[in-house]
Amino acid sequence: MMTEYVTQFCTIATSKRLAIRWSLLLAILAFEFMAITIRHDMPPLLETEVSWSVRLFHSSNKIWRIGLWIICANLLIFSPRIKAVLGSLREQSSEYHWSIWLAFHIFTFFAFAVVTAFLFATPVNPARLTAFWFAVWFTLLSATLLLWLLALAPGQFWLRLIRQEYTALLMGGMLGIGAWQTIRVLNRREGFLGQEEFWNSLSIPTMQLVHTLLSWIYDDLVYQPLVYQPEKFLLGTASFQVEIFYPCSGLEGIALITLFLAIYLWLFRKALRFPQAFWLFPLGILFIWLANAVRIAMLIAIGASFSPEVALQGFHAQAGWIAFTLIAIGAIALSNRMQFFTIANSGFPVVGADKSLAAALLVPLLALMAASMVSSAFSSGFDRLYPVRVAAIAVALYYFRDAYKGLGWSWSWQAPLIGTAVFLIWMLLEPDADSSKTALSQGLAELTSGSAAIWLAFRVIGSAIAVPLAEELAFRGYLIRKLTAKDFENVPLGQFSWFSFMATSVLFGLMHERWVAGILAGMGYALALYRRGQLGDAVIAHMTTNALIAVFVLTQAKWSLWS
């Protein structure tokens, strides 16, 4: 019995040591990435700079974008075997002497940063951008990444991974490059092979439908006649017009819903009927295209009859995501409520389960996201309707209040210390910005003193209390356990899993505009949970961070932190 306890203790201690080491390595890599990409950026290519070496340097800023696409593609391909790969990585890294490789990595990164500063200093000197210096720069970049990988795990792990999974790695690389190139082509105004007419031809049926919708409103209004110029892809009224090129044709929404449904069908392939489930693709594409036409019609109507600022800033940015979210949720609801799509007794998660624990943990965050999109859609940069977000979270928390009793709400004094540490990291990674010119500061200046005070009170309550509760219930209460075991209700709070720790931290960071700081914050709050297995520790740590940010914003007028 004593031997068993010692073995379990050593396993837990090793896991925590690895957690600290990997968190440190990821934080170092994130800091280095931000330091290089923020400080140095290649300016636009000039007409006179035509040498191939200069053009090679000019294309170097695409390397990290391609790398991110390749990493994402490999994560998708390796997702069924990610636990096995992480288990092997953990096994080979437990007694690994990694510090010497980290020292070499830091030294090499310093040399890489010096060379980068020399070559990319403003103004850029084309005489420096030679083939020799590009070889030096690229060699240092490759060595920096290689040494970081060797600090993460021994070389034999990487060699074995390449030998065993070279086909999957090659496929992931090709898929990542292909996805990057596809997005790049879609974002070019000239289109594929310069065929602008091909891409813009997709806008014609969208434009015709939008014109039909608007004609129901504006044809009878003499003072607001419709402007309809199909040859210029121009549509609107005399006071407000938009160009409906291919990005507005619904193409991006079609691509997003197709990708979402493909992932959804793959994840729940055992619960869905095939080939019947493939009918979700044409249905999703049709509804997303119709929703896009309605969005453009509403955009023009708001800009022409209400506020051009709201139309172009809030509504234009959020309406598409609102439509995509609703259609995605609708596809899931349709598929698991109709036997045509779903296998009987498949254990498929039924939408609308009555006050289940999963719903209690997720609904507050979903309510926050929905309220955020709606309130932002009707703002011109300054969200006057922010109190709606607080109210949405409060209603959801009150409705599910009985489900939260067994989640461990005690907290220790270490939780505020972790929250303070996260605050300091957040501030260190915060870029310098002129807070006097933000939409928030300008919007507050337009309010009366009483209205501004009420808005700020709701903003502080939301930031320091409501948002931390909603996010911690979803990420540390639900997702971190769901990624550990399918029946998450039986997973004790605080049970450690490398996959759930890293995945929830990354997803938490991606939810925030400052994603690097967000990932590190997610790690900090997860560690607060792991210490004692009490959700209250993670909540208090999160509240402490946001409260300190609120104090800093109000005392230093650093409004960009709330932007």
Residues 6+ apart with CB under 8 A from 214: 226, 235, 297, 300, 301
Average pLDDT over residues 288-296: 88
Asked whether residue 141 falls in the same domain as residue 234, the answer is no
pLDDT of residue 160: 81
pLDDT of residue 21: 75
Residue 103: Cβ within 10 Å count = 12
Identity of the highest mean pLDDT range in 48-57, 214-223, 509-518: 509-518
Confirm whether 355 is domain-assigned: no
Per-residue model confidence as pLDDT tens digits over 78-101:
555 666 776 777 777 666 778 888
- Domain closes at, from 157, 187, 217: 187
Pick left, alpha or beta for residue 234 (phi over 0 → left; psi -120 to 50 → alpha; otherwise beta). Answer: beta
Confirm whether 420 is domain-assigned: yes
Confirm whether 67 is domain-assigned: yes
Asked whether residue 393 falls in the same domain as residue 529, the answer is yes
Asked whether residue 328 falls in the same domain as residue 381, the answer is no
Q: Is 405 exposed, middle or buried (0-12, 13-18, 19+ CB in 10 A)?
A: exposed
Asked whether residue 169 falls in the same domain as residue 207, the answer is no
Q: How far apart are the C-alpha atoms of 337 and 223, rounded to whole Å?
A: 48
Six token digits for residue 537: 């520790």
Identity of the highest mean pLDDT range in 35-49, 122-136, 322-336, 534-548: 534-548
Burial 515-531 (b: 16+ CB within 10 A, else e): ebbbbbbbbbbbbbbbb
Asked whether residue 132 falls in the same domain as residue 264, the answer is no
Q: How far apart are the C-alpha atoms of 234 and 244, rounded to whole Å?
A: 6
Q: How far apart are the C-alpha atoms of 78 and 412, rounded to whole Å?
A: 38
Asked whether residue 322 falls in the same domain as residue 372, the answer is no
Total count of domains within the chain: 3
Higher pLDDT, 86 or 195: 86
Helix (H, G, I), strand (E, B) or coil at 141: helix
Asked whether residue 428 falls in the same domain as residue 504, the answer is yes
pLDDT band at 48 (very low <50, low <70, confident <90, very high): very low
Instruction: Give yes or no for a contact between 524 and 507, defined as CB atoms under 8 angstroms apart.
Output: no
Average pLDDT over residues 19-31: 76
Instruction: Give yes or no for a contact between 462 and 397, defined as CB atoms under 8 angstroms apart.
Output: no
Q: Where are the alpha helices (DSSP H) in 188-341?
A: 196-200, 203-218, 251-267, 280-305, 308-309, 316-337
Residue 205: Cβ within 10 Å count = 13
Select from 229, 226, 230 the least CA-distant residue to 297: 226
| C-alpha to C-alpha distances, 269 to 171, 341, 343, 542, nearest whole angstrom | 22, 11, 10, 37
Q: How far apart are the C-alpha atoms of 459 and 396, rounded to whole Å?
A: 18
Six token digits for residue 174: 């090709």
Q: Give the DSSP per-residue string, 401-422.
A: GGGGTTS-----THHHHHHHHH
What share of the chain in percent tops pLDDT 70? 71
Instruction: Give yes or no for a contact between 484 and 501, defined as CB atoms under 8 angstroms apart.
Output: no
Select from 64, 59, 63, 65 the least CA-distant residue to 44: 59
Q: How far apart are the C-alpha atoms of 438 and 418, rounded to whole Å?
A: 30
Domain of residue 98 covers 14-187
498-510 and 2-39 helices, crossing angle to 10°: 30
pLDDT band at 4 (very low <50, low <70, confident <90, very high): very low
Per-residue model confidence as pLDDT tens digits over 362-405:
889 888 888 887 777 667 667 788 899 999 999 999 999 888 98
* Residue that is written with structure tokens 């400080």 in the block: 39
Asked whether residue 171 falls in the same domain as residue 74, the answer is yes
| Number of residues assigned to the chain | 563
Per-residue model confidence as pLDDT tens digits over 509-529:
878 878 888 889 999 999 999
Confirm whether 357 is domain-assigned: no
| C-alpha to C-alpha distances, 135 to 116, 124, 131, 138, nearest whole angstrom | 12, 18, 6, 5
* Residue that is written with structure tokens 């938490």 in the block: 508
- Domain closes at, from 321, 337, 353: 337
Confirm whether 3 is domain-assigned: no
Asked whether residue 382 falls in the same domain as residue 239, the answer is no
pLDDT band at 504 (very low <50, low <70, confident <90, very high): confident
Q: What is the 3-state secondary structure (H, E, C) of 311-327?
A: HHHHHHHHHHHHHHHHH
Asked whether residue 176 falls in the same domain as residue 224, the answer is no
Q: What is the DSSP letter of 516?
A: H
Asked whether residue 381 falls in the same domain as residue 510, the answer is yes
Instruction: Give yes or no for a contact between 361 and 474, defined as CB atoms under 8 angstroms apart.
Output: yes
Residues 6+ apart with CB under 8 A from 400: 355, 359, 360, 363, 364
Q: How far apart are the C-alpha atoms of 478 and 470, rounded to whole Å?
A: 11
* Residue that is written with structure tokens 């593609």 in the block: 73
* Residue that is written with structure tokens 């980068």 in the block: 116
pLDDT band at 338 (very low <50, low <70, confident <90, very high): confident
pLDDT of 189 > 60? The answer is no
Confirm whether 126 is domain-assigned: yes
Q: How far apart are the C-alpha atoms of 93 and 498, rounded to whole Å?
A: 13
Confirm whether 354 is domain-assigned: no
Q: How far apart are the C-alpha atoms of 8 and 10, rounded to whole Å?
A: 5
Confirm whether 22 is domain-assigned: yes
Asked whether residue 64 falls in the same domain as residue 152, the answer is yes
Residues 6+ apart with CB under 8 A from 395: 367
Average pLDDT over residues 345-350: 48
Q: How far apart are the C-alpha atoms of 264 and 534, rounded to whole Å?
A: 32
Q: How far apart are the C-alpha atoms of 407 and 473, rounded to whole Å?
A: 9
Q: Where are the alpha helices (DSSP H) in 120-187?
A: 131-152, 155-186
